[in-house]
Structure 1
Amino acid sequence: MRLSRLLIPIAALLAAALLCVVAAFFSVRLVEDNSRDSVASALTRDGQDWAEVDVNGLQVFLIGTAPDEAARFRAMTVAGSVVDSARVIDQMLVAEGDDLAPPRFSMEILRNDAGISVIGLVPSSSDRDRLMAGFADMAGETAQVSDLLEEAEFPAPDGWRDAVTFAQRALRDLPRSKVSVAAGQVHIKAMTESEEDRRRIEADLRRRLPEAVALTLDLSAPRPVISPFTLRFVIDEGGARLDACSADTEEARDQILAAAKKAGVAGEATCRLGLGVPSSRWGEAAARGIAGVAELGGGSITFSNADVALLAVEGTDQGLFDRVVGELENGLPDVFVLHADLPQPPEAAEQGPPEFTATLSPEGGVQLRGRINSDLTRQTADSFAKARFGSGAVYTAARVVEGLPANWPARVLAGLEALGSLANGSVRVTPDLIEVRGTTGNSEASADIAALLLDKLGDAEEFDIAVTYDEKLDPTLGIPTPEECVAQITGIIGDRKISFEPGSATLDASAKDIMDDIAELLQLCGDIPLEIQGHTDSQGRDEMNQQLSQSRAQSVLDALRNRRVLVAGYTVTGYGETQPIADNGTEEGRESNRRIEFKLIEAEPAVDETDAVEETEADAEDGDGAAEAEPDAPEEGTGE
């Protein structure tokens, strides 16, 4: 009985325990299922359907391969917003990413009097030491080179090396500049010494630009001092034109050109910017003057500093003339002084005005014809022309007459000086007019001639300038002479050297840049008579040295031909060891003697046959009994 009484409570306790276990089991399953379903639904809604969810009690496991680290972090955040983030266990992987995109390589080069600074990111394959050595050589001993470059382990992009090489060469001519370099792109911003230097440097840079590089230029030059500050506007039977134009600012230039266009100037007119303006209202004054001439229907107006000369056409209505002049006098700024003239018709016709003419032919010949007021004036004009154009180029046929104006000598000499600004053309001097006609290679010739005549003769004089600019005659763009070409080759080589592999006629890698520079120059020079000379030191046999020097000169010729240089007029000669320029007893001397030289082939003068026979006989007599010494050199040596 006692046993049965004990079994009943024990059985009840066991049943309760079993019931608790069962309830706990199903509760845990319910919690796990709810956690799994809730987290999985939240991940799906957020677009993270790549992630799988597993649970173990209260722990929630995230499994799967995330496309990137950001997606993995996002999945953890979403799961932590549904259940306690401490319950979320990260068992995710991250997919391996694609190859990293290469960075944008670029370089900024700043050069001034203090030195050169280089900053940027370059490929690790760049020859950084050589690049810095080039900058150091360019800066000189007194200036510093700051290397602020960083490197990245990526291959150099297309166009990078060409851009860097071009930028480094361009920097040599630009002591105050900023050069930006990227793959296939170079931007140059620099200050030049003068406008002429700016045009020369720009033309040279564009000529040397590789095809694979895009160039952006921002070259500036200090504005010149213009004295006198000149402007001349004319309307005649040929139409409206600006013979000379100067302005102090771009706004004044635009104002003047707009007034000239409105007055009838066709085409592209130019106006030179410079210093020396007599008034800050120069543009306004010039525009008023141009509008006045246009209202008169013809004539000219000339500004020379603050002096203004208005010349109307003969026959202009007096009332119209008076009104226009009155408006100008009231409208011009106070600093300007206006001189106005309305020519009156002559009472009787004359046989024709006296005149003096000077012509300059394209070949350089000068002829002086017409009337001169005295022998002294004729001698002075003749001497001036010979000093300017050459004694053998001047032919004087001017006639001395009386009754010419008192200022005739000054007008004649001013006309000859103006003729010196032309490549070819003529000057005609009459009592009322100086006409200048011709062609020039100076784009500013019209303005220069106008300034010259105003300075020599005054602002009241009348002159007519019709000068045509021919780019082929521009010395800044011209083709160098053969002598200049050879001199420039020497300058290109400089301290460098055309080197070959030891004991052979094969150009080594260091010669590529020199050959590129020489080929670029020779393409500009055209077909010139040139001798490429090969020279060796004295080591080795004479015959071997001669053959080696000949082969090396031929290799240089072949390299130029491969670079599309016209080599039809070139010859190659190997001189071996016969023309040393240094002591062959030292290593430095032998290095100097191993060289390539470029010589211009001069035309041989005619030789008298009798002299030639005598020289031949003399040479034969001198050669009798003379023996050539064998050099003290190793039998198998080479004169490399």
Structure 2
Amino acid sequence: MRLSSIAIISATFGVAAGLCLIAAGFAVNVIQDNSELGVRRALDGRELHWAEVHADGLQVFLTGTAPSEALRFAALTSAGTVVDAARVIDNMTVKATAQLTAPRFSVEILRNDSGISLIGLVPASTDRRDLLAKLSSLAANGNVTDLLETADYQVPDAWEDSLRYALKALKSLPRSKVSVAAGEVEIRAMSDSDQDKRKLENDLKRAVPGDVKLVMEITAPRPVITPFTLRFLIDADGARFDACSAEDEESRTRILAAAKAAGVEGETTCTIGLGVPSPTWAEAVEKAVAALAQLGNGSVTFSDADITLVAAEGTVQGLFDRVVGELENDLPTVFALHSVLPQPKKKDAATEVPEFTATLSPEGLVQLRGRLNNELTRTAAETFAKARFGSAAIHNAARLDETLPASWSLRVLTALDGLSKLSNGYVSVTPDLIILSGKTGNTATSANIARLFAQKLGDKARFDLSVEYVEALDPVASIPTPEECEAGIGEIVKTRKINFEPGSDKPDAEAAAILDDIAEILRSCGEMKLEIGGHTDSQGREEMNQALSQQRAQAVLNELRARKVLTGSFVAKGYGEEQPIADNGTEEGRDANRRIEFHLIRNEPAAQPETTLENAEQTAEEELQPETDQPVDPADAAKDGGSNDE
């Protein structure tokens, strides 16, 4: 009985345990299936179809190859929203990705009176100590602030050329910001004047390497114009400005419009500067120019708020009175008008008008003739002329005349001062009028002389200026472009061969004169990148021809250097027999193939790839892909022909 009871109890527990195991297994299968299905749906909902799901009991295994680390993490996150993250087993792999693109190396260099600051990212191989040493010599008190970071990546093409050029440019840029990237330099700077701006822009353009793109923005501050001067005249040559000043763009536009209405043709300029005597300046100029146009001939000169209107001799008195009266009433209250109607001089043989003249020749010789009122004035005139023109260039043939007016000395010295601003010219001084004419290489000379005369002689002084701008005399504009230099050398070597002694790299006797002419062109060209290419015919061994062509190209470079040509940016390259221009089967062809060529190096900079780094905070759904710019194909270098005998 007792045994039966125990067996029954045991059986009951056994059956219960079996039922529990069956129920547990069934529950596990249900949980497993639901987990796998739920995770699958979550992955599909986020378009992560590449991920495979397999559940084993309570564990969920994720397999497959993720396109990126971000998407692998996205799959884990998606599975974690369905089941406990501890149950998710990551057996996924990540597709191999291309090497991360190198960061975009760049440096911003700020230079001002306080020193120099550096900020940016440079390659780890950059010699920062040398860089800082070079900048310290330029910085005020050697003060250089280094905020550079480094990255250990391969140095991109043209980086060294760009940085080297930026440091060179910075020497002439005391107030500037220079941004440097591989193959590109951006310069923003200030110059002291418009003339300095033009020269600076020209120098920077000439020095830029062929593989560097230059972006420039050079500004010149508004000059302080004292006195604030404007001179407009109408004569037989037409209407024109000798000097024009305006306080802003709007004022300049109004003044130029009034001048065109009065008969000015073609392009004309008006300097924007500081020092305007009244905000109604443009209004006063408009009215004065219109009044002169009514008279038909004459001049109107503004010196600050003083206006002098001089009509042409022979103007009808009634017309003059009406025009001047209307102008006096219309002018803004600040301005004062002085009007002059010259009266015809009576012809009297006994009356002689005293005169002083000075002539400046293109060679710099100065002749002084006419009359001076005393010994003191003569000494002052000689001393002033020697200071302005050079002591060895003065020939004084003026005589003394004590009857001259008291203002004669001032008029003479002012006239000489005006003449000194010309490259060559002539000035005549009489008691009533100063006439100055000549040529200059500075577009602002006429305005500067008009301002000088108005300031020194007073607003009522009469003077006549005829100043011609000649581009060939302009120290900036007269410099030929690199293309013009290349063409000039090309014209020489087309008709005159640079010959060498047979089998040698020594130029023959006749080559010296050719090299002299080429050197003369190059000395006037400034800095530019030039290749001197040596070529041979096909006779002899190829290796020997290659070496000989290199030696001859280098010999030409050395000859130019000996003639004081700046050759730091020149390259000598031997091409051997690789580039024939004629048939090597004939003597004439071989003679043509033995040559020296000169051509500019015109490589265009290649665009650099943009930096792309993965952002750890970016949402897991976004796939990061490196971006690169397409490289720009370099332009073919143009060549001018040349030749040399072997």
TM-score (norm 1): 0.65
In structure 2, distance between residues paired with 1:394 and 1:137: 43
Cα separation, partners in 2 of 1:223 and 1:559, compared to 1, 3 Å: farther
Higher relative contact order (CA 8 A, sep 6+): 2
State the AA in 1 paired with 2:125.
S
Cα separation, partners in 2 of 1:382 and 1:135, compared to 1, 3 Å: closer
Superposed CA deviations along residues 2-61 of structure 1, whole A, max 9, x for unmatched, are: 999999999898788767655654554344334323432332242211100001223322
Superposed CA deviations along residues 582-626 of structure 1, whole A, max 9, x for unmatched, are: xxxxxxxxxxxxxxxxxxxxxxxxxxxxxxxxxxxxxxxxxxxxx
Question: What is aligned with 1:566?
Answer: 560
Aligned residue for 2:32, secondary structure, equals helix
Unaligned runs of 5+ in 2: 480-518, 527-550, 566-646
Offset of residue 288 of structure 1: 3.3
Question: What is aligned with 2:436?
Answer: 436
Cα separation, partners in 2 of 1:386 and 1:402, compared to 1, 3 Å: closer
Superposed CA deviations along residues 321-365 of structure 1, whole A, max 9, x for unmatched, are: 555434533443332211123456x49778999566543322234
Offset of residue 178 of structure 1: 3.0
In structure 1, distance between residues paired with 2:564 and 2:3: 132
Question: What is aligned with 1:130?
Answer: 130
Aligned residue for 1:138, secondary structure, equals coil
Question: What is aligned with 1:65?
Answer: 65
User: For residues 508-587 of structure 1, what are the structure 2 equivalents within 5 Å?
Assistant: 524=523, 566-567=560-561, 569=563
User: For residues 464-475 of structure 1, what are the structure 2 equivalents within 5 Å?
Assistant: 464-474=464-474
Superposed CA deviations along residues 471-504 of structure 1, whole A, max 9, x for unmatched, are: 443457888xxxxxxxxxxxxxxxxxxxxxxxxx
Deviates more, 1:47-56 or 1:323-332: 323-332
In structure 2, distance between residues paired with 1:560 and 1:294: 66
State the AA in 2 paired with 1:245.
C
Question: What is aligned with 1:458?
Answer: 458
State the AA in 2 paired with 1:289.
A
Q: Do the aligned partners of 2:105 and 2:182 also contact (CA within 8 Å) in 1?
A: yes
Question: What is aligned with 1:598?
Answer: none
Cα separation, partners in 2 of 1:18 and 1:565, compared to 1, 3 Å: farther
State the AA in 1 paired with 2:211.
A
State the AA in 2 paired with 1:237.
A
Superposed CA deviations along residues 148-171 of structure 1, whole A, max 9, x for unmatched, are: 211101122222211211222233
Q: Do the aligned partners of 1:372 and 1:378 also contact (CA within 8 Å) in 2?
A: no
Question: What is aligned with 2:93?
Answer: 93
Question: What is aligned with 1:164?
Answer: 163
Cα separation, partners in 2 of 1:99 and 1:21, compared to 1, 3 Å: same
Cα separation, partners in 2 of 1:458 and 1:145, compared to 1, 3 Å: closer
Cα separation, partners in 2 of 1:274 and 1:78, compared to 1, 3 Å: same
Offset of residue 92 of structure 1: 2.2
Cα separation, partners in 2 of 1:521 and 1:81, compared to 1, 3 Å: farther
TM-score (norm 2): 0.64
State the AA in 2 paired with 1:173.
S
Q: Do the aligned partners of 1:108 and 1:119 also contact (CA within 8 Å) in 2?
A: yes
Superposed CA deviations along residues 72-101 of structure 1, whole A, max 9, x for unmatched, are: 222233334444555433332333332111
Cα separation, partners in 2 of 1:36 and 1:358, compared to 1, 3 Å: same
In structure 2, distance between residues paired with 1:70 and 1:137: 49
Q: Does 1:238 align with 2:237?
A: yes
Question: What is aligned with 1:337?
Answer: 336
Q: Do the aligned partners of 1:423 and 1:440 also contact (CA within 8 Å) in 2?
A: yes
Superposed CA deviations along residues 428-482 of structure 1, whole A, max 9, x for unmatched, are: 4566643322211333210121122223433223333222233443457888xxx
Question: What is aligned with 1:449?
Answer: 449
State the AA in 2 paired with 1:76.
L
Offset of residue 201 of structure 1: 4.1
State the AA in 2 paired with 1:422.
L
Unaligned runs of 5+ in 1: 480-519, 528-556, 572-640
In structure 2, distance between residues paired with 1:85 and 1:258: 79
Offset of residue 391 of structure 1: 6.8
In structure 2, distance between residues paired with 1:32 and 1:132: 67
Question: What is aligned with 1:55?
Answer: 55
Q: Do the aligned partners of 1:522 and 1:565 also contact (CA within 8 Å) in 2?
A: no
Question: What is aligned with 1:37?
Answer: 37
Aligned residue for 2:427, secondary structure, equals strand
Q: Do the aligned partners of 1:54 and 1:60 also contact (CA within 8 Å) in 2?
A: yes
Q: Do the aligned partners of 1:120 and 1:150 also contact (CA within 8 Å) in 2?
A: yes
Question: What is aligned with 1:268?
Answer: 267
Superposed CA deviations along residues 90-124 of structure 1, whole A, max 9, x for unmatched, are: 33233333211111211122334443332221001
In structure 2, distance between residues paired with 1:117 and 1:92: 49
Q: Do the aligned partners of 1:170 and 1:205 also contact (CA within 8 Å) in 2?
A: yes
Q: Do the aligned partners of 1:113 and 1:143 also contact (CA within 8 Å) in 2?
A: no
Question: What is aligned with 2:305?
Answer: 306
Question: What is aligned with 1:485?
Answer: none
Aligned residue for 2:92, secondary structure, equals strand
Q: Do the aligned partners of 1:293 and 1:299 also contact (CA within 8 Å) in 2?
A: yes
Q: Do the aligned partners of 2:374 and 2:401 also contact (CA within 8 Å) in 1?
A: no
In structure 1, distance between residues paired with 2:121 and 2:521: 36
Q: Do the aligned partners of 2:109 and 2:119 also contact (CA within 8 Å) in 1?
A: yes
User: For residues 52-451 of structure 1, what are the structure 2 equivalents within 5 Å?
Assistant: 52-85=52-85, 87-139=87-139, 142-192=141-191, 197-220=196-219, 223-314=222-313, 321-322=320-321, 324-343=323-342, 346=344, 357-367=357-367, 372=371, 383=382, 387=386, 388-389=388-389, 393=393, 411=411, 413-429=413-429, 433-451=433-451
Aligned residue for 1:309, secondary structure, equals strand
In structure 2, distance between residues paired with 1:470 and 1:386: 24
In structure 1, distance between residues paired with 2:21 and 2:381: 133
In structure 2, distance between residues paired with 1:320 and 1:396: 45
State the AA in 2 paired with 1:151.
T
State the AA in 1 paired with 2:88.
V
In structure 2, distance between residues paired with 1:247 and 1:201: 25
In structure 2, distance between residues paired with 1:266 and 1:399: 44
Q: Root-mean-square deviation (CA), in Å?
A: 4.5
Identity rate, percent: 54
Q: Do the aligned partners of 2:373 and 2:403 also contact (CA within 8 Å) in 1?
A: no
- What is the total number of aligned residue pairs between the two structures? 499
State the AA in 1 paired with 2:435.
E
Q: Do the aligned partners of 1:526 and 1:566 also contact (CA within 8 Å) in 2?
A: no
Offset of residue 568 of structure 1: 6.0
Cα separation, partners in 2 of 1:314 and 1:18, compared to 1, 3 Å: same
In structure 2, distance between residues paired with 1:521 and 1:252: 46
Cα separation, partners in 2 of 1:260 and 1:377, compared to 1, 3 Å: farther
In structure 2, distance between residues paired with 1:109 and 1:178: 6
State the AA in 2 paired with 1:437.
S
Offset of residue 523 of structure 1: 5.2
Q: Do the aligned partners of 1:382 and 1:394 also contact (CA within 8 Å) in 2?
A: no
